[in-house]
Structure 1
Amino acid sequence: MKSKIGCNPAVAERFQELFNYLLSKALVHKQKDLAKLIGATEANVSRLLSGDDRYTTKSMIARINHASGYPFSEDYLLRGEGTLLSDPESRVSERELRETCEEEPSALGSRTLLHLPVIPTTLKAGIGRGILYERDDTQDLEDVYAAYASVPVFLDRETSHRYQLFCVRDDSMMDGTRDSLCIGDILLCREVLREDWTHGLIGRYPNVVVVTEEGVLLRRLTKHDRKQETISLHSLNGGDEDRIIALQDVKAFFYVERLIERHLSTW
């Protein structure tokens, strides 16, 4: 006779709180992301979040802690004692995570945890040189990153070298709608290599970051004229004139893939 499967609603609620915490840190976006992160199936993650006592175990918590880098409390998740993180006030977990990332990338299955500099989107001549273009492979990355704050982010290992973080520094992309990108927002952006530009730059991601000698520009891409080899850029707030930039003047080009952190004080 099969034993009855037990599901505890209170435990389910606390594991859902854990999941929401990982969402807030942009480590996961859906249940399948958590499954991939810890090396489980989506079905098992669903059972975990429903409070199934076969999956809400000490070993599962240990797997999540190891994969995420955060010290989720066993006492809290299983028994409701204490708080979600073992030491939430000191934020030791995040500091230790950053220190670990600075030493070396951490491989987690097909993903890797990198510590990327957050580069401001601002028209300042030469900003990003050495990181976004004219890279010097002989230079120590710590010296290059020293001028910027850094944030840890999980990426697919195969494409991780093509990603960069940018921080919004003006209101050109704020129009009062859900499309707005606010001052202080941190964006995860994927570089499009120069050899791929000829295939066309209008794609599924409408917002782009364009790097020139003039600086770093965040705008909406409205046109790619392949014959003239130019791109047309538009600001959402209408306060800045549309710009046409020759691709020969572009040092690096990125699609804005997703928002890593929303700066709520301006939203």
Structure 2
Amino acid sequence: MEASIGQRLRTLIEEKGYTPYFVSQKTGISESTLSRILNNASKKPNIKNSEVLAQFFNVSLEWLLNGTGDVNSFESSAAPFANHRVTVRQVTFDNYMEVKYLPVIAQAGYLNGYYDIKEHIDELDTMLVPKEFEKGNYLVVEIAGDSMNDGTTRAICDGDRLLIKELDKTFWKDKLHFRQNLFVIMSNEGIVCKQIIEHNTETHEIRCHSWNENYPDYTINLNDVYKLFYVKKIVERRIRF
């Protein structure tokens, strides 16, 4: 069976000892796009992305796309990555996992009642993120707005992508560990990322706090919450000048 572009690209990455995240950061190709190529979900990648990848690995574009020609026949001596040297520690694909990614536009649809995550899960893009060895339901969400941006190193900024893990409803009745975690709350009020600073287990109310002092605290009843996640880590952040 003839190898696919995804298999050829995967071989190049493994031979160099790179990670998909590293390739994404150095080429400017998003992790979700790179993941689709690697997993053959994108049978005909964008030609611009293909050229960038061929330049980065210093291989023939024809070989990368079709598996034909001389693998080392890339002729441009001015290739932007030709003299790029890095020292990296090899990380295998076993250290990564694919997680569904819920962008801002899909979040709005979910809140309007016509976008159910379970029914449309196959329509979501995926991202490669460092593997979490704790089992559970993971999701990557994109942050919109500045309510959690207090200008410090802990800030959660507009455009950040967070890896979140669902908290089973059986744990909602217990006092939430609001001092140790940030939460992503999906309710009929919206999808928000907040710190929970109070939890009344009798009335089932939680007080949501923003790190940006321009946004006041407010309460929400857990009976109005569809899903509750806690934030594991920031998995992608744009460079800001």
TM-score grouping bracket, smaller chain normalisation: 0.5 to 0.7
Does residue 174 of structure 2 align to residue 199 of structure 1? yes
Change (3 A) 1:239 1:152: same
| Equivalent in 160, 182, 187 of residue 212 of structure 1 | 187
SS at match of 1:164: strand
Q: Distance in 1 between matches of 2:146 and 2:181?
A: 17
The amino acid of 1:241's aligned partner reads P
**C-alpha deviation, 1:90, in angstroms:** 8.9
Q: Distance in 2 between matches of 1:256 and 1:159?
A: 15
Contact 2:179 2:196 in 1 (8 A): no
Does residue 122 of structure 2 align to residue 142 of structure 1? yes
Aligned to 1:155: 131
Q: Distance in 2 between matches of 1:262 and 1:220?
A: 20
SS at match of 1:218: strand
Does residue 209 of structure 2 align to residue 234 of structure 1? yes
Q: Distance in 1 between matches of 2:184 and 2:31?
A: 31
**C-alpha deviation, 1:185, in angstroms:** 0.8
Q: Distance in 2 between matches of 1:119 and 1:253?
A: 17
**C-alpha deviation, 1:95, in angstroms:** 4.3
Q: Which has the higher helix share?
A: 1
The amino acid of 1:261's aligned partner reads E
Give a deviation string over 1:62-121, Cα, whole Å, max 9, x none: xxxx9xx573485x78xxxxxx97xx6595997453244576xxx966x66214223339
SS at match of 2:100: strand
Q: Distance in 1 between matches of 2:219 and 2:157?
A: 23
**C-alpha deviation, 1:152, in angstroms:** 2.0
Change (3 A) 1:70 1:188: farther
Change (3 A) 1:97 1:216: same
Aligned to 1:47: none
Q: Distance in 1 between matches of 2:11 and 2:31?
A: 6
Does residue 47 of structure 2 align to residue 71 of structure 1? no
SS at match of 1:71: helix
Aligned to 2:154: 179
Q: Distance in 1 between matches of 2:160 and 2:28?
A: 24
Contact 1:126 1:214 in 2 (8 A): no
The amino acid of 2:12's aligned partner reads P
Q: Distance in 1 between matches of 2:40 and 2:101?
A: 11
Note the aligned Cα RMSD (angstroms): 3.8
Q: Distance in 1 between matches of 2:115 and 2:30?
A: 33
Q: Distance in 1 between matches of 2:189 and 2:206?
A: 16
Q: Distance in 2 between matches of 1:198 and 1:73?
A: 46
Q: Distance in 1 between matches of 2:167 and 2:215?
A: 25
Give a deviation string over 1:112-139, Cα, whole Å, max 9, x none: 62142233397773379411xxx34xx6
Contact 1:98 1:115 in 2 (8 A): no
**C-alpha deviation, 1:199, in angstroms:** 2.3
Contact 2:199 2:206 in 1 (8 A): yes
Count of aligned residue pairs for this structure pair: 176
Unaligned runs of 5+ in 2: 1-6, 42-91
| Equivalent in 227, 234, 239 of residue 259 of structure 1 | 234
The amino acid of 1:231's aligned partner reads I
Listed as ranges, the matches of 1:22-61 within 5 Å are none
Contact 1:118 1:151 in 2 (8 A): no
Q: Distance in 1 between matches of 2:175 and 2:222?
A: 12
TM-score, with normalisation over the residues of structure 2? 0.59
Contact 1:205 1:257 in 2 (8 A): no
Unaligned runs of 5+ in 1: 1-65, 78-83
Contact 2:178 2:195 in 1 (8 A): no
**C-alpha deviation, 1:259, in angstroms:** 0.8
